Amino acid sequence: MELIGDVWVNWFEGEENGYNVCDFHEWRKHDFIELLDQVPLIKIDTDLFLYIENNLSDLPPKLLEDVRNKSYIRKNNQREVIEYCFIATDGIRHIVVDTLGYTVPIRKSRLIPRQEKVVLEKAQEMETTKYEWHPPVEQKEYHILSPDPKWMLGLTRKERQLKQILLMALDQLRTSGKLEEVRYWYTEWFPKQYHESRTLSFNEAWEKLFNSVKIGWTEKHYDFCERMIKGQPYFEKIWELETAANMESNKK
């Protein structure tokens, strides 16, 4: 175990999927960024690393014991202890974790590039610590409200956020069960397939629409999402906040 000083973190809270823990180049002015005085670095095997990065499940008890009270943050010229906070690496990737005193990785962050370089260099000289833990019996299931990483591959932070709004809107459409409504949106996405849409059942239309929309992000996705959420205050507010945050970020 190594101790790393002056660690800048940008906490993403309650994220079970690693793709939503943004790298430094996607940090924004209004993100929750802190400077930690000291954080322990542990090197673990790749399976455990991916488990921590992509789950909100219990951490190995021995890992928690090893890092307990070894992190500090300076507040009002006082050095305060953070109970369970650490940087984990498998020698290739890294992630910073704070459990907020619990046993699950509630807050996660990436490092700034300079510190990432330091961590990966130190990791080359460190032994991998083997922790006893029990991988989930069943493989993690991704779904429309917890999107598969393949659906987010290559997307920017803004695109990932807007895509999740679109997927939530599609989920709401599925819940409505309204045949004419799903046929309408099917035709909006496939404008040349109006006659086909009239022959599809609700489930057929929704599945074909979802399976096409879930791949990638294009101007077509952007326009479709904007039209789909129009008149829905909750989705419109998220859309407005995300587009405004992205514009502010681009000014940096």
Mean pLDDT lowest among 41-55, 134-148, 209-223: 134-148
Residues 6+ apart with CB under 8 A from 82: 36, 71, 72, 73, 98
Mapping DSSP onto H, E and C, the string for 160-228 reads HHHHHHHHHHHHHHHHHCCHHHHHHHHHHHCCCCHHHHCCCCHHHHHHHHHHHHCCCCCHHHHHHHHHH
Interatomic CA distance for residues 42 and 126, integer angstroms: 8
Angstrom distance (rounded) from CA 81 to CA 38: 10
Q: What pLDDT, in 10s, does the model give residues 174-193?
A: 999 999 999 999 999 999 99
Residue 187 included in any domain: yes
Q: What does the alpha-carbon distance between residue 4 and residue 204 come to, in Å, rounded to a whole number?
A: 54
User: Is 143 part of any domain?
Assistant: no
pTM, to two decimals: 0.88
CB 177 within 8 A of CB 237: no
Q: What mean pLDDT do residues 76-84 have? A: 92
pLDDT at position 241: 85
Query: What's the average model confidence in pLDDT over 182-207?
Result: 95
Number of residues assigned to the chain: 252
Indicate the residue among 125, 140, 165 that finishes a domain.
Answer: 125
- Whether residue 31 is contained in a domain is answered as yes
8 and 120, same domain (yes or no): yes
Task: Let me know if residue 93 belongs to a domain.
Answer: yes
Express each pLDDT in 154-165 by its tens digit: 999 999 999 999
The pLDDT value given to residue 136 = 77
pLDDT bin (cut points 50, 70, 90) of residue 10 is very high
Residues 185 and 234 in one domain: yes
Q: Do 34 and 67 lie in a common domain?
A: yes
Query: In percent, how much of the chain has pLDDT > 90?
Result: 86
75, 10: one domain: yes
User: pLDDT (tens digit, 9 = 90+) per residue, 139-148?
Assistant: 788 899 999 9
User: Which of 62, 93, 125 is the last residue before a domain boundary?
Assistant: 125
The domain tally of the chain equals 2
CB atoms within 10 A of CB 203: 12
Q: Is there a domain that residue 136 lies in?
A: no
Mean pLDDT on 79-83 = 95
Q: Is residue 208 part of a domain?
A: yes
Does 164 lie in the same domain as 92? Answer: no
- Within this chain, do residues 170 and 223 fall inside the same structural domain, yes or no? yes
CB environment 204-228: b (16+ within 10 A), e (fewer): ebbebbbeebbeebeeebbebbbeb
Same domain, 154 and 244: yes
Q: Which domain holds residue 12?
A: 2-125
- Shared domain for 112 and 163, answered yes or no, is no
Domain match, 46 and 110 both: yes
Residues 101 and 154 placed together within one structural domain of the fold: no
- Distance from C-alpha of 41 to C-alpha of 118, rounded to nearest angstrom: 11
Same domain assignment for residues 88 and 162: no
Answer yes or no: is 215 within a domain.
yes
* Confidence at residue 247, expressed as pLDDT on a 0 to 100 scale: 60
Mean pLDDT for 107-124 is: 96
Nearest alpha carbon to residue 28 among 6, 10, 13 = 10
Q: Which of 120, 93, 110 is nearest to 23 (CA)?
A: 110
Is residue 86 domain-resident? yes
- Residues 11 and 47 both lie in one domain: yes
